[in-house]
Chains A and B, each alone.
Chain A
Amino acid sequence: MSEQSEKNKPVLTKKLDKFLTGLANAFRFVKRFFQEVWLPPYEFKEILRQCYEIGYRSLPLISLTGFIVGIVFTNQSRPSLTEFGATSWLPALISIAIIRAMGPLVTALIAAGKVGSSIGAEIGSMKVTEQIDAMEVSAINPFKYLVVSRTIATTLMIPILVLYTDFVALIGSFINVNQNELVSLSSFFVQVFEAISFLDVFSSLIKSLVFGFTIGIVGCYKGYNSSNGTEGVGKAANASVVMSMFLIFIEELLALQIVNAIRYA
C-alpha cells in the first residue's frame, strides 16, 4: 500500500522529497564530521599527505591564475582612475580588491575545480570499487580516514593558498603598475599596506577557512554517496565542483554582509 502511494506521488512532490532527503543527509554528514573530528585516532599522516596533495600540487595553477588576475585587474582599473587623474591610487585599489574579495574567491573557485573534483572522483571511485567497504570490514573507520582528513586538509590549506594568491596577484599588479606608472616596489607595497586593515586580512582568512571546509566536505559528501558505477564517479566529481562553487558564492555574499556590518558599526 505504501509502495503504491509512493508511486502515485506527483513528480513535484517526489522532487521535493528527494531534495529534502538530500538536505537531511548532507546535514547528517556535516554533523558526523564535527563529531568525529575530535575523536582519536587522529590521522596526522593522512592529513599531511592530503595537505601536500591539495596545497603544494595546486601551486602552479594558483600562481598562474593569481598573477594573471593581478595584471588584468590592474589594467582594467586604470582607465577609470585615469579619468579622475587618480592612477596613483591603483596600488590601494588593487590591494583592497585582491585581499578582500578577488584572492579568496579566485583561489576557492580554482580549488573547487581542481581539488573538489579530485576528492569527489577519488572517494567516489573508492565507493564504487568497494574500497570503502573493505575499510569498514577491516574495522577501519573510512569516514575518519577519508572524509575528516581531506576536509581538515582543505580547511587548512585554502587560507595558505589565499595568502599566496594575494601575494602573487600583487606582484602581477606591481609589474603592470611599475611599467606604466614607474612606481617602485617599496612605494607600491607601502601603499598596499596603508590601504588594507587588520579586518581585511582577518576576514579574508576566516572566509578562506569556510571556503576550504566547503570544498572538502562537499567533495567528500558527493564522493561518499556516489553510486551507479563509473557514471556515478563522473557525476560525483561534477556535482562536487558545481555545489562547491555555488556555496562559495553564497558564503562570499554572507561574509560581505557580516564584514560590512562590523566595519561600519
Chain B
Amino acid sequence: MTIAGPVYLGCRYLWQHRWRSALVTLVVTLGLLLPAAIWLVVDLAEAHLRERADSTPLLLGAKGSSLELVFNGLYFSENDQPRIKLQDANDAAADGLGRSIPIYARYQAQGYTVVGTTVDYIDFRGLQFKKGQAFTQLGDCVVGSDVAQDLNLSPGDALVTTPERVFDLTGVFPLKMRVVGVLAPTGTPDDRAVLADLKTTWVIEGLAHGHQDATQLDDAVLEQRGENRALNASVVEYTEITDDNIASFHFHGDMKDYPITAAILIPRDPKSGVILLGRYVGEDRPLQLIRPAEQISNLFDTVFRIRALVTVLLVVVALSSFLIVGLVLLLSKRLRSAEFMSLRLIGASPGVIRFLVLFEAIAILCISVLLTCGLLVALWFATPWVLTWVV
C-alpha cells in the first residue's frame, strides 16, 4: 500500500467525524493560541502606549497617581484627574528651559473627550488635516478621524458639548461648537479626540461667557454698585459663539488661575529636562513632573511579570489539553479496533495503520497551527485599532 492510501483513508475519517475532529482541532488551537496571543497583545499594547509616551518628554500635573496623569494627559481617558492652574504650566517654562503645552481633558461632546489645548499641540504631534484647518476662533473645534466618521462631521458642521450633570439646573449650558477641521487618521487617541482652544473649554466650564450687553438691561438689574451691575437670571447667555456675539465673550478673573489637567513640557535639551525634573522633587510640592515613558515602563514591568505568570499557567493548561487529546486518540484506537481489523483483512500492515493514526494526529495539529497563525495575524492587525478605542 502506498502513502496515498492511508492519507486518503485518514482524510475520509476526519471528514466522516468532522465535528469530533473540529472539537479536537479547537482544543489544540486554543492551547497554542492563548499563550501566544497574550504575548502578542501585551507587546502591541506596550508598543502602542510607549510610542506616545516616548514622544512626550515630560508631563506636568497635580500630585497623585502618576499613571492617571499619563492616561489623562496622553490618552485623554476619563478620570477625575486633579486640576492645576495654567500659571503652573507657564511657570514650568518661564525661564526658557522648555515650553509647555496645556491640556484640559475633562468635558465630553457626544461621547468624545473635548481636549482643550493650544494650536502648538497640533504642531507638536505632527497632526495633519484631512479637511479644513486648525481652530482659529473661540468656539471652534477640530475632530479626530474616528469622531468625524462616527458622527459624520465635516468642517462647517456643529458639535454640541455634553453637560456634566443633566439635571443640574445651575450648571453651564451646552456649547455648540463649530467644526473647522478633520484630522487625518493617526492610530492614536487623537483620532477619538475633539481638539479645541483651551479658552473654549473654559467657556464650556462657564468660566468665560457671552451675554446681552449689561448696560442695556435696565429691567434685569438686581443691584448696582458704581459701575458694577448684578443682573438677574433673565439675561440671555449665548450657547453658540458667532461673529456677531464673539466680542461679548469675556473671562472672569485672571486666566492664569484657570484650570488645566496636565501640561506637556518640552525641555530645550536633555540637561534642561533634568533640571526641570529636579524642581518638582519633594513631598511638599503640590505638582509632579514625570517622564511618561518611565511610567509606561513601570506599568509594563508589572504587566510583563503578570504575563509571564499567566503564560506559565496557560502553557500548563495547554499541555493538559494536549494530554487529553492524546488520550482521546488512544481511546479512539480501541474504539476503532473493528475498523483496523478490516484494514488488516484487506491487506494493510500494522505500520500502515500506525501511519494512518499518526497522519490524522498530524493533520489536526497542522490545521491547528495554521488556524493559530491566521488568528495571530488577525490579532496583529486588529489590536492597534482596538487599543485606540480601549486606551
Partners in one complex: no
Q: Which residues on B are within 8 Å of A, measured CB to CB?
A: none
